[in-house]
Amino acid sequence: MTIYDIAKQLNVSPATVSKVINNYPDVSVKTREKVQNFLKEINFHPNAQAQSLSTKKSWMIGVVYYEETGVGLSHPYFSAIIDSFKKSVEAEGYSIHFGSKNSRLMNDNYLDYFRYRNVDGIVVFCTDQNDKQTWQMIESDIPVVVIDMKIDGATTITSDNELGCRMAIDYLVGLGHRKIAHIAGCRGNNWASQVRERGFIEAMTQNQLPILPGFIQYGQDFTFESGYQAMKLLLANSERPTAVFSASDLMAAAAIEAINDAGLRVPEDISVIGFDDIELAKFLKPKLTTIRQNTAELGKNAAKLLVKHIDKIQTEVDFVVPVEFIERQSCKKI
């Protein structure tokens, strides 16, 4: 059936049927439900090319993630955000399309690829401030939202990292800890790593505590292996920390393993606190105290921001999602 047949059957206008199919908001709830129920009854599937012609949209959103940063789809934090983002944009009628550097199309950057695919918007994960391709997309005429990094001139969504760092350090100080070390995500241009390291330093300063020599060690892109090596360096320090604040849960899990391998115990000898609250955190022994990032809200709000951007509705430029302190068993009062 065509939309004209459907309109005649339901005694509404073809424009109303089209608006319901294409998810426009200016249709009453009662009429929308009537049309949607009828579409389900007749198993109606709109033609993608016809939709594109009528709405001037491809109904496709491009997704970019930089696997070389080590925190792409395989990382539990980012995979959870992407899952939430995907569900949210699909509820708005969009499909997602992962970016590709495609030799057949002779494109060597994501922007060219997305122009070829005629996407309506782009979401960028796992990038750094100096990435040339990210800037090409931000400065293009295609709406872009960047997740987990603030960039001047771009629409971004991040967690409240600064608050999370203060929560972690204030909690440890409240337990009596003074020799607190930090395992940072990595050196270089990773925004989340930089802001958490800075947040650690500021929280220690606010609590009038010194950061002892060698008490900041660096992982590599928040990986387990690099967290293990960073903890070994902290244990080899002339002064041993009584507590460690890790920039990610994976590295915190690695720190716990390195402490155990050294013949020490968590939290009896060293307290450990993480950041993210990935699924693994509550299954560690001991269960990990951490700062929870709300991945569902990050993905959902990134989708809302991008859809508004596509529809030329004014939105916040920097959207910050609150974090939550999760107390478990990996920290001890001294």
Find how far residue 86's CA is from the centre of its chain.
Answer: 12
Asked whether the predicted pLDDT for residue 176 surpasses 80, the reply is yes
Please give the Cα distance from 248 to 278 (Å, whole number). Answer: 9
Q: What is the mean pLDDT of residues 162-180?
A: 98
- Whether 41 and 79 map to the same domain: the answer is no
Q: Give me the pLDDT at residue 116, please.
A: 85
Looking at the structure of the chain, the number of domains it has is 3
Tally of CB atoms within 10 A around 278 = 24
Return the pLDDT at 93: 82
Q: 180, 209 in Cβ contact below 8 A?
A: yes
DSSP 8-state class, residue 287: P
Tell me how many degrees the CA angle 181-74-124 measures, rounded to the nearest 5.
90
Asked if residue 213 and residue 117 are part of one domain, the reply reads no
Cβ proximity of 71 and 193 under 8 Å: no
Q: What is the Cα–Cα distance from 271 to 329, expressed in whole angstroms?
A: 9
What is the spatial distance between Cα 42 and Cα 1, in angstroms, rounded to a whole number? 8
Asked if residue 51 and residue 7 are part of one domain, the reply reads yes
Residue 5's pLDDT band, with cuts at 50, 70 and 90, is confident
| Whether the predicted pLDDT of 126 surpasses 60 | yes
The helix/strand/coil state of 167 is helix
Q: Are residues 248 and 170 in the same domain?
A: yes
- Report the DSSP pairing between strands 323-326 and 289-293: antiparallel
Q: Are residues 117 and 140 in the same domain?
A: yes
Q: What is the CA radius of gyration of the chain?
A: 24
For CA atoms 168, 172, 175, 176, the dihedral sign is negative
Q: Per-residue pLDDT averaged across 270-297, rounded?
A: 96
- What the block records as the tokens of 100 is 């590709």
Instruction: Write out pLDDT tens, residues 40-52.
Output: 898 887 765 565 5
Share of the chain above pLDDT 90, in %: 62
CATH of residue 168: 3.40.50.2300
DSSP run (H or E) holding 246: strand 243-246
Our CA dihedral for 152, 158, 159, 163, rounded to 10 degrees, sits at 0
Element (H, E) at 82: helix 76-91
Residues 6+ apart with CB under 8 A from 312: none
- Pick the closest to residue 289 from 263, 309, 270 (CA basis): 270
Note the pTM of the prediction, 2 decimals.
Answer: 0.80
Q: Hey, what are 94's tokens? A: 């969009």
Residues 205, 102, single domain; the answer is no
Domain residue limits at 74: 61-154+295-320
d(CA 26, CA 19): 8
Find the helix packing angle between 295-310 and 76-91, rounded to 10°.
40
pLDDT of 17: 87
40 and 77 share a domain? no
189 lies in the same domain as 232: yes
- Under the banding of pLDDT at 50, 70 and 90, the label for residue 271 is very high
Mean residue pLDDT of the chain comes to 89
